[in-house]
C-alpha cells in the first residue's frame, strides 16, 4: 500500500530533496541540483509564492520514502490567462506505477478542490523552472536546465490516462557547422546601419546585473504568443537572479541595443556545468565551487539557454549579430560543440534560427495532462 503525506517538517523536506539522489544514484545522465538552492526555492518566504501556491508531498511504502511530487497553483496562469489547471512538478518515484498513481491522485484531488478543469506536468512554479518529462534521449546527459527521468516515467503516466500536451526539442550542433557565421561581417554591418543597432559586451557579472530585468522583460515580449507561456512576475525575477546569475560568465552573453541604448535582443549561453554538478553531489562547499571553476575554464561544450528578441526586430537578421559575437568568443575558448535549450515544438521562429546549422534532435520532452471531471 502507498501512503502519500504532505511535507510538514524540516526532516521531511530534507527527505524530499534527498530522494532523487537515491533513485538516480550512479546514473551517468542525471544531473543533481544544488541542495541549498532547492531549499531556498521551496522556502515559504520565496518571493515566487506571492503569485503561486504549492504543496509538497512524499509517498511511503511502509516507512520507506518511494516518491515525491509538488502540487502547484499558478494564479497568474489561472486569473490572467484563464487556464484552469493545476500543475504537478518535481516528480520522482521508484519503478512502480502504483506510486505514480498515488502521487498524481493526490494532486488531482487538490485540483478538484480548486475546481480547475485539468492537471498538467511535470512543470515548475513558472516558465523559468524545468518542465516536461524526458521521452527520448535517456542515454544523454542532462543540461543545467534540462530534465532527466527513467524511461518508465512516460510509459506509466500514459497508462494512467494522461495525454501528451506540450513538447520540447533539444538540438545538438557541432560548432564547425556555424562556420558560415564567420562570413557574416558584411551582413552584420548592414544590419547595424539599417536599424541603428549594435552589440555590446559586459566586462563582469556585476556590470550585467542592472540589465537582468530588461532581459526578463524581453523574454515576456518574445514568447507572449506561445500557448504555453506564462508571464514571469517581478517577484519571480528576483528568485531566478539569485539562482542562476552566479553561473553566468559575461563572455557567454550577447546583447544588442538600439540607438537610445535600449536592449532589443540578448542571448545567454554557458559552458556545460553538468559534470561539475555531478561531481559536487548537490553541494557547493567545500569542493563544489572548484569543479565549476574548472568547467568554466576548460570546457569545450556550450549550452544555449535563453534568447530574447523584441518582436519589433524579429525576422530582421538581429540574431546574426548575436551569433557572430558568440561564435568569435567560442572559437577563442576552444568550444567544439553546442546544445540548445529546450525549444517548444510549436515555436517555429526559434527553430528557424538553427535550421542552417545541421542541428540533430537528440532529446525530446513532454508535459502530460488529464481532464478533471
Give pLDDT, residue 293. 77
| pLDDT reported for residue 93 | 98
Distance CA 293, CA 350 (A): 31
- Which candidate, 222, 192, 229, 195, places its Cα nearest to that of 310? 222
| pLDDT tens string 355-366 | 888 999 999 999
Q: Is residue 147 pLDDT above 70, yes or no?
A: yes
In DSSP notation, 266-325 reads EEEEEE--HHHHHHHTT--TTTHHHHHHHHHHH--EEEEEEEEE-GGGTTTTHHHHHHHH
Share of the chain above pLDDT 90, in %: 54
Amino acid 306: pLDDT: 83
Distance (Å, whole) CA 300 – CA 113: 50
Residue 230: pLDDT band (50, 70, 90) is low
- Please name each of the domains of the chain with its CATH number: 3-169 (3.40.630.30), 172-364 (3.40.630.30)
CB 303 within 8 A of CB 144: yes
**Span 287-299, mean pLDDT?**
76
Looking at residues 257-272, what average pLDDT do you find? 90
> Which of residues 17 and 266 earns the better pLDDT score?
17
Span 175-180, mean pLDDT? 88
Q: What angle do CA 320, 321, 324 make, to 5 degrees?
A: 80
Evaluate whether 144 touches 274 at the Cβ level (below 8 Å).
Answer: yes
Rounded to two decimals, the pTM is 0.87
Amino acid at each position: 500500500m502507498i501512503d502519500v503525506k504532505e511535507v510538514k517538517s524540516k526532516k521531511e523536506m530534507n527527505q524530499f530533496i534527498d530522494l532523487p539522489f537515491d533513485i538516480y544514484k550512479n546514473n551517468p545522465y542525471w544531473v543533481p541540483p544544488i541542495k541549498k538552492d532547492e531549499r531556498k526555492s521551496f522556502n515559504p518566504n520565496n518571493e515566487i509564492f506571492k503569485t503561486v501556491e504549492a504543496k509538497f508531498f512524499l509517498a511511503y511504502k511502509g516507512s520507506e520514502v518511494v516518491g515525491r511530487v509538488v502540487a502547484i497553483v499558478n494564479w497568474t496562469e489561472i486569473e490572467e490567462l484563464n487556464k484552469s489547471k493545476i500543475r504537478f512538478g518535481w516528480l520522482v518515484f521508484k519503478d512502480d506505477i502504483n506510486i505514480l498513481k498515488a502521487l498524481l491522485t493526490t494532486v488531482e484531488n487538490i485540483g478538484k478542490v480548486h475546481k480547475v478543469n485539468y492537471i498538467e506536468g511535470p512543470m515548475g512554479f513558472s516558465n523559468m523552472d524545468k518542465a516536461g518529462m524526458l521521452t527520448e534521449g535517456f542515454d544523454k546527459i542532462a543540461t543545467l536546465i534540462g530534465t532527466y527521468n527513467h524511461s518508465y516515467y512516460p510509459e506509466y503516466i500514459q497508462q494512467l490516462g494522461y495525454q501528451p500536451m506540450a513538447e520540447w526539442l533539444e538540438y545538438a550542433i557541432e560548432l564547425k557547422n556555424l562556420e558560415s557565421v564567420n562570413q557574416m561581417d558584411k551582413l552584420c554591418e548592414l544590419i547595424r546601419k539599417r536599424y541603428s543597432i549594435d552589440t555590446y559586451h559586459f566586462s563582469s557579472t556585476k556590470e550585467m546585473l542592472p540589465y537582468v530585468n530588461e532581459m526578463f522583460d524581453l523574454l515576456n515580449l518574445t514568447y507572449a504568443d506561445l500557448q504555453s507561456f506564462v508571464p514571469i512576475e517581478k517577484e519571480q525575477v528576483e528568485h531566478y537572479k539569485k539562482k542562476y546569475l552566479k553561473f553566468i560568465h559575461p563572455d557567454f552573453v550577447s546583447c544588442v541595443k538600439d540607438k537610445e541604448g535600449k536592449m532589443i535582443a540578448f542571448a545567454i549561453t554557458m559552458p556545460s556545468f553538468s559534470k561539475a554538478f555531478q561531481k559536487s553531489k548537490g553541494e557547493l562547499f567545500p569542493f563544489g565551487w572548484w569543479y565549476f571553476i574548472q568547467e568554466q575554464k576548460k570546457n569545450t561544450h556550450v549550452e544555449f539557454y535563453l534568447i530574447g528578441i523584441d518582436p519589433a526586430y524579429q525576422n530582421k537578421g538581429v540574431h546574426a549579430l548575436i551569433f557572430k559575437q558568440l561564435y568569435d568568443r567560442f572559437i577563442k575558448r576552444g568550444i567544439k560543440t553546442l546544445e540548445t535549450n529546450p525549444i517548444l515544438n510549436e515555436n517555429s521562429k526559434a527553430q528557424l534560427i538553427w535550421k542552417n546549422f545541421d542541428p540533430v534532435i537528440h532529446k525530446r520532452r513532454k508535459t502530460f495532462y488529464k481532464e478533471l471531471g
